[in-house]
A and B are shown apart, each in its own frame.
Chain A
């Protein structure tokens, strides 16, 4: 198996302040093929984000191997673009410079980087907002800048950690459609983490379910065969969508309840 990204028996553990060891994820095996959109769904605190950090090379696994294009990952994953859950834009840079920076670090001249950044801002619908600083943008606009910031580097694999989590329902839908539209042009491999099953099915080719933490495992893997191109709002009313949602929810429900029991509903 040689996908864009392979996790092979990955276990992630953290040393706690009291000297104990907390196992976040145990024995996760997952493969993302080139051009495949995989969504990971799991209850709050199940270690979904941890798995992404491992895939990005930001967090070494305690056991198991991460491979990118078949090669074991030993340092930062240079093929990956990472869209974080929290605000990760540089607050002291304008939207344009935030997008351009990823090219500048790759050695592209500043002028050319800014020109291409402007083109990307236009693609995400923010062509006229280049000279705004992040705090002058709405949450949805900041996510758009973040998307452009990551995609301008043309990563082979896109890691997304509940990127639309803090947005309101309408904005999430618009951002989901924007993501699908951008993705359809060059079909990168995507690993998309969310706690929203609707969002996962509407976006992905495959939905992977994780059990409640600690020592969370992968407990399910469903292919999504809904035709593309999809519209997030329209796809949700199709019978095939409802049927798949019901199937997955049967499994997920129990884990969500376990997760609530452990975190006190938080």
Chain B
């Protein structure tokens, strides 16, 4: 599809949604509103709230804290996932021993860990980072594990025939293969880092986007809740755009069909 046309259609969807919202909250149908403003706020109120946040500058601190927590969770979780994924893939015995435990921990809904982490690491950033790590780690871990184990046997045979020893194999074959799998899950892992931060904030904190939303909910300030969600959504869009840019640079060697945009 033509790019200009695509953007036009995307805008149209947004405008339509907001129009339905506006009409539902401001035009009474048969004496009652389809979307009572008390429960749904109105587009204008939400927009005004967002503008107020940015003009007063209070939102920046929350944005920054969420960004910081998500980034730390992503970096630490990815690093641990790469190292342990690599280790397990190269040591099948270790992998076999830990297999049931990895599955057990991965099956655990992370939300239940949030109160424990708050207890252990306090209400500050550390507990949110820990929650994010538990999400990011498993995505990166499984991808790297897969990436190392699924190197094509022909490529491995070729590498050996070209004179590679174990160290060279690691550097020129296993490592790039594992990284490519990790990068292909970049959107998911970055997304989960943000989810970990926001959920952690929501369940107990003094700052961040999750805190902002939770505070607004506490006083039935629906405009505040919606404004918080919109800021969060825009925030995720920006980060996703940055990830796409990074991906284009890092995965130039991949055929275009294999890189997905979501």
Contact = CB atoms under 8 A, between A and B. Distances in A.
A133 interface: yes
Interface of B: 152, 154-155, 157-165, 168, 172-173, 176-177, 180, 252-255
20 contacts: A56-B161, A80-B161, A82-B161, A84-B157, A86-B152, A88-B157, A90-B155, A90-B159, A90-B172, A90-B176, A91-B254, A92-B176, A92-B180, A93-B176, A101-B164, A133-B252, A134-B253, A135-B254, A149-B162, A153-B162
A84 B172 contact: no
Given A92-B176, A133-B252, A82 B158 contact: yes
Which 5 A-B residue pairings sit nearest by Cβ, starting from the closest?
Answer: A88-B158, A133-B253, A105-B163, A92-B176, A135-B255
Contact of A101 (B152, B172, B252): B172
Nearest to B157: A58
Contact of B173 (A76, A82, A90): A90
Nearest to A78: B163
A76 B253 contact: no
Given A92-B180, A133-B253, A106 B154 contact: no
A87 interface: yes
B159 to A, nearest CB: 8
Contacts of B164: 101, 105
Contact of B163 (A58, A93, A153): A153
Which residue of B163, B168, B252 has the most chain A CB atoms within 10 A of its CB atom? Answer: B163
Contacts of B172: 90, 93, 101
B168 A105 contact: yes
Nearest to A87: B154
A40 B158 CA distance: 21
Nearest to B155: A88
A60 to B, nearest CB: 14
Nearest to B258: A135
B154 A76 contact: no
Contacts of B157: 56, 58, 82, 84, 88
A102 interface: yes
* A interface bracket (residues with beta carbon within 8 Å of B): 20 to 34
Contacts of A149: 162
A213 interface: no
B253 A88 contact: no
Interface in A52-86: 56, 58, 76, 78, 80-82, 84, 86
B29 to A, nearest CB: 57
Contact of A58 (B160, B177, B180, B254): B160
A84 B157 CA distance: 9
Interface in A204-251: none
Interface string A86-128: 1111111110000001100110000000000000000000000
Nearest to B177: A92
Nearest to A58: B157
Contacts of A135: 253-255
A78 B154 CA distance: 17
Contacts of B177: 92
Contacts of B180: 92
A90, A150, A153 interface centre (most CB from chain B within 10 Å) = A90
Nearest to B257: A135
A153 B162 CA distance: 8
A84 B253 contact: no
Nearest to A159: B161
B256 to A, nearest CB: 9
A93 B158 CA distance: 14
A231 to B, nearest CB: 30
A82 B154 CA distance: 11
Contacts of B160: 58, 76
A240 B165 CA distance: 47
A102 B163 contact: yes
B184 to A, nearest CB: 12
Contacts of B162: 101-102, 105, 149-150, 153
A90 B173 CA distance: 8
A120 B155 CA distance: 21
A157 to B, nearest CB: 12
B154 A86 contact: yes
Contacts of A87: 154
B175 to A, nearest CB: 9
A134 B163 CA distance: 21
A90 B253 CA distance: 10
Interface string A176-208: 000000000000000000000000000000000
